[in-house]
């Protein structure tokens, strides 16, 4: 990682169990290039990463409401102010890289015609795409927010519900250096994906909304 954005050290520490103090703090930090902004929330401690004045932000946040930074009214206003739409409110999960795997992944010869791969390229750089031997799904690995490793997964519809997602997610941990954090963002409503990441040993550390 080359970025020295304040969120880099915060996320790295949280990945190892050292979370920001749950003291109701709202910290305003610069926008994390190339994103227009980001809102990252931990337990009773949030970060709004935008290039706007703190006083202006606070006038649009309900005083005393710990969930205000990720509430719909604030996110909608912030998107208008930044000239872009807020992304999904995602659960952020992490695991450490591993040298062990039970499923072999191979590079996938797929490009931007694949919708999920195209989405990965919009959110990340240095994106790599892998599949299983039967090509039943794809795993995308790339550098995302503040340069962290991020993975996402897409399975063919007929391959779902058989434990393949969990196996591919676990296998993807060998794609990053051992003991280095790898992150995933999952919509809370995507219960199937959330269960797969949890079953693969990923643990939730917070939530976030990105402004592309």
102 & 64 share domain:
no
So what's the pLDDT on residue 154? 87
74 & 108 share domain: no
- pTM above the 0.85 mark? yes
Domain count, the chain: 2
Domain membership of residue 210 (yes or no) is: no
Q: What domain range includes position 135?
A: 92-203
Does residue 14 share a domain with residue 67? yes
Q: Are residues 123 and 38 in the same domain?
A: no
- Would you give per-residue pLDDT tens digits along the chain (212 residues)? 455 899 999 999 999 999 999 999 999 999 999 999 999 999 999 999 999 999 999 999 998 899 999 999 999 999 999 999 999 999 999 999 887 667 889 998 876 677 778 888 888 999 999 998 889 889 999 999 999 999 999 888 776 777 888 999 999 988 898 889 999 999 999 999 999 999 999 999 999 999 99
Domain end, chosen from 91, 125, 160, is at 91
Cis peptide bond upstream of 34, omega within 30: yes
Q: Among residues 44, 76, 91, which one ends one of the domains?
A: 91
pLDDT of residue 121: 84
- Does residue 126 share a domain with residue 64? no
Give the whole-angstrom CA distance, residue 68 versus residue 46: 9
What pLDDT is attached to residue 159? Answer: 65
Residue 140 lies inside a defined structural domain of this protein: yes
One domain for residues 73 and 138: no
Say yes or no: 84 and 98 in one domain.
no
Of 43, 65, 91, the one marking the end of a domain is 91
My answer on whether 67 and 115 are in the same domain is: no
115 and 184 belong to one structural domain: yes
């Amino acid at each position: 990682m080359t970025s020295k954005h304040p969120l880099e050290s915060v996320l790295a520490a949280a990945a190892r169990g050292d979370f920001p103090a749950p003291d109701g703090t709202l910290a305003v930090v610069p926008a994390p290039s190339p994103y227009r902004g980001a809102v990252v929330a931990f337990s009773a401690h949030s970060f709004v990463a935008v290039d706007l004045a703190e006083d202006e932000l606070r006038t649009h946040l309900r005083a005393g409401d710990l969930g205000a930074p990720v509430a719909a009214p604030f996110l909608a206003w912030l998107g208008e102010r930044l000239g872009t739409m807020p992304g999904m409110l995602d659960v952020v999960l992490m695991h450490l890289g591993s040298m062990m795997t039970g499923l072999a992944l191979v590079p996938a010869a797929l490009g931007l015609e694949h919708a999920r791969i195209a989405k990965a390229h919009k959110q990340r750089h240095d994106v790599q795409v892998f599949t299983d031997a039967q090509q039943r799904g794809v795993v995308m690995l790339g550098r995302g927010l503040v340069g962290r490793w991020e993975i996402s997964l897409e399975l063919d519809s007929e391959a779902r519900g058989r434990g393949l997602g969990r196996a591919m997610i676990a296998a993807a941990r060998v794609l990053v250096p051992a003991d280095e954090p790898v992150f995933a963002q999952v919509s809370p409503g995507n219960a199937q994906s959330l269960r797969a990441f949890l079953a693969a040993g990923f643990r939730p550390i917070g939530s976030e909304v990105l402004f592309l």
